[in-house]
Structures are given as C-alpha cells and as structure tokens.
Amino acid sequence: MAKTIAINAGSSSLKWTLYEMPAEETIASGIVERIGLDNSIFTIKYGEGKKYEDVLDINNHEIAVELLLEKLDDLGVLTDINEIEGVGHRVVAGGEIFSESSLITDEVIEQIESLNDLAPLHNPANVTGIRAFKKVLPNITSVAVFDTSFHQTMPAVNYLYSLPYEYYEDFDARKYGAHGTSHQFVAERAAEILDKPFEDLKIITCHLGNGASITAVENGKSIDTSMGFTPLAGVTMGTRTGDIDASLIPYLMNRLELTDVQDMIDIFNNQSGLKGISGVSSDMRDLEAAEAEGNERAEIALRIFEDRVRNYVAQYMVKMEGADAIVFTAGIGENAPETRQNIINNFKFLGIELDEEKNNVRGKERIISTDDSKVKVILIPTDEELVIARDVEYFKNLAN
C-alpha cells in the first residue's frame, strides 16, 4: 500500500510520522534527537504499542534518514522502501513567495533558503531535512508545507507594520505568523465538533507549546495571528521574549557591551521567555513544580505567560466581535489544565466558563467549557503531520 512520510526537521532533530494514504492511518512515528552530537537518541513507535529505541552517534541528517528507512525495513514496518511514494516537509517561513504548499524543486529549495532571515532557527534545519530525503529518495513526490501559508489571508491592516511603506515594498517587512498547519487543523476540527460550517464560524486557536501563537480564524480564514515577521514575536514563550519594545535592543547591547546585533537576537530567542524570567526552565512542568515549592520567579513566569495569552484572546474577540469557540492545543495547551483555567477565568464576565471536571484532562479531545458557556472552549490535540500528509496526497493526485 502507498505510504507518505511527514517530516519536521530541526537543527539537531528529525521528527516524523508514516501514514498509509489516503486512509490517513498512522503506521509508525518517531524522532531522531541529538543529530550531530554524541549519544543521538533514535526512537520508533509502531504496531500495537511497540517501541524501538537506540542510542548511537548520528553525525548528520542524511545518516539519520538512511538509518530510519533501514530500521523501518528491519522492523517489518516497510516491506520495500518503494512503498513510500511521498514525503512532506514542514517549512516554517514561506514569506510572500509561498501562499500554499509547493512541490519541491531545486528552485524551491533556493527560494526557501532565501527566506532564512524570516525563521533563522527553523528554515535552515527544514532545508537540511529536505536535502537529506532528496538524496536518499530522489524520485518520490516531495512537498514543502509552510507554517505561514494559512496566514496569507490576513488583511493588510493586520499584517502591515507601522513603518515606511517602502520597507514592505522593498524588503517584505511585514507580519507572517507561524504554526499555520496547526491552527488550520484544530480550527477545522473545532467546526466538525460544533457541527457547523467552518466558513460560518469565529474561532480563536491557541497553539501553546515551547513556541506559542494565537490566531483569529473568521469565516474559515486566518485574519490575524500573534507571531510576526519571525516566530520571535507575540506571547511569552519557552525561551523567546514575545513582544518587546524595539528600543531595548540598542539599550541592552550597550549595557551588555555587545557589538553584533545577532548576539542580542540570540538572547531574545534562546535565553528569554519562561526560562529567562524564572531562571529555572523553559518547561512548563518544571515551572509548575518550582511554583509548588514556593519559587516566586517561576510563579511570575507562569502568570506572565497566562497574561500574554489572555491579552491576545481578548484582542481577537474584539476584532471579530465575538467568538464561537476558543481552542487549546500543542504541548502546554493540551496538557496544562491549570494554565487553561487561569487563562479563561478572566472571561467569566463575558459568560465564558470552564467546567472544572471536564478541564481536568490531558491530551484528550473534548469540550471543556460548561454547558451554558457563551463560547465553547475545546481541547483538540493538534496533528500538523496529518495536514502535511494530506497536502502530499493532493500533489500525488495531481500527478496522476
């Protein structure tokens, strides 16, 4: 049977899911961690609760891909490598070049690389994964699926910055957003749960993980989102600042005696957010444990995170003149009941309220608001990989 593999490549990782298509059945999934470092961790989940794990040195993504395909054969997940007829790659930044997914060619790879400044932590890693699969499986349908594509429907009033207009015309300086595949998946799924046409609804989607973003989806389209020119803007995140006053950049560079602005951007991306405020960790679980032990900075970090998410939810409710649903998804959104409760508590005056018992759940799809809540609050586990696999299937069908 035909199979499609969805790939999410990081700078030192390769996350993947193998599907039987068009049935959309998950056959196996896994991750290769610490690529290029000692003691790489290689994990495959397959069959009925089976798991393979090994620790070895994997020097680069190409070796990781070769090892992955070899092991899928050894474990009997594949009987022939040619069963894989399509591969879809998550790419964070598509800029204004890519308003939808694209078949991968040498030109497309060059165009993705030209957008590295829009997602410096992500696009180079995404291209590394693309090149690795291209070398090992050069003849299968290969598709790039962009985090930014879903947000290309934003109106100019929401994507333009208040800068000289020629900076947008000449340098493409504008808001692009991210996490588009996740926001699209959970918004469409919310419409199915509500049993209403997607095009008739107003939905606020909260993708809350180490990277976090909030999106306003009106009449089936993204009309605004919290991330900006890069995935650095928006709400406070695991290691990222979220929104700040740009004047802090020269001020802090002067005080820290930095001369390269990239050093400051690296601090904003990797040493800030929950980690920077708490001094403990970027992981919500660690912060909750530290808060329980009386760590004041961990408590402040958690409250700041909740406040920034709440601010965007409120902003988008005003922008859309209401909402039919608020959706929580991703690592924190799916697995932190107290965080969801603290965010929604401030909306009781609007008649929006969580059911404490229904909200006491992790990673399980359900409506978690009270029966009489004016807006439905829904927990929906995201499945970005499935969105990627569906787009690959679309291009395979076009070719046939």
Give residue 372's Cα distance to chain centre. Answer: 31
At 66-81, the pLDDT tens digits run: 888 889 888 989 888 8
pLDDT > 90: what percent of the chain? 68
Of the candidate ranges 127-131, 170-174, 185-189, the one whose mean pLDDT is the lowest: 127-131
Name the residue with higher pLDDT: 373 or 138.
373
The answer to whether residue 11 scores a pLDDT higher than 80 is no
Where is average pLDDT lowest: 1-10, 93-102, 303-312? 1-10
Helix (H, G, I), strand (E, B), or coil: what is residue 61?
Answer: helix
Query: Nearest-CA neighbor of 308 among 372, 364, 235?
Result: 235
Known catalytic residue at 263: no
pLDDT at 359: 96
Sheet containing strand 84-91, strands side by side: 50-56, 40-46, 25-33, 14-20, 3-9, 84-91, 141-146, 102-103
Q: In terms of Cα–Cα distance, which of 200, 175, 198 is closest to 185? A: 198
Average pLDDT over residues 153-161: 97
* pLDDT digits 0-9 by tens, 109-150: 999 999 888 877 778 888 888 888 888 888 889 999 998 999
Asked whether residue 399 carries a pLDDT value surpassing 90, the answer given is no
Across the range 45-67, mean pLDDT stands at 87
Contacts of 77 (CB under 8 A, 6+ apart): 18, 27, 28, 44, 46, 47
CA angle 88, 213, 130 (to 5 degrees): 20
Number of neighbouring beta carbons within 10 Å of residue 201:
20
CB 32 within 8 Å of CB 72: no
Domains of the chain in sequence order: 3-146 (3.30.420.40), 195-384 (3.30.420.40)
Q: Which helix (H) or strand (E) holds 379?
A: strand 376-379
Largest CA distance in the chain: 61
- Which tokens belong to 3? 């199979």
Buried b (16+ CB within 10 A) or exposed e, 293-311: eebeebbebbebbbebbbe
Tokens of 248: 């802090």
Choose the weakest-confidence range: 181-190, 280-289, 297-306: 280-289
Mean pLDDT of 380-387: 92
pTM of the model: 0.89
Average pLDDT of the chain, as a whole number: 92
| pLDDT, average across residues 314-332 | 96
The tokens describing 183, both together, are 């926001």
The pLDDT score that the predictor gives to residue 129 is 84
Q: What is the pLDDT of residues 200-259, one digit of tens each?
A: 999 999 999 888 999 999 999 999 999 999 889 999 999 899 999 999 999 999 999 999
Q: Name the active-site residue from 57, 73, 147, 243.
A: 147
Closest by CA to 205, choosing from 223, 180, 186, 177, is 186
The pLDDT value recorded for residue 1 is: 67
DSSP alpha helix (H) spans, 142-293: 156-159, 165-171, 180-194, 248-256, 261-270, 273-278, 284-292
AA identity, residue 357: E
Q: Answer left, alpha or beta for residue 219, where phi above 0 means left and psi between -120 and 50 means alpha.
A: left
More confident residue, 13 or 192: 192
CA distance 184 to 158: 18
Q: Give the angle 53-54-58 at the CA atoms, nearest 5°.
A: 130
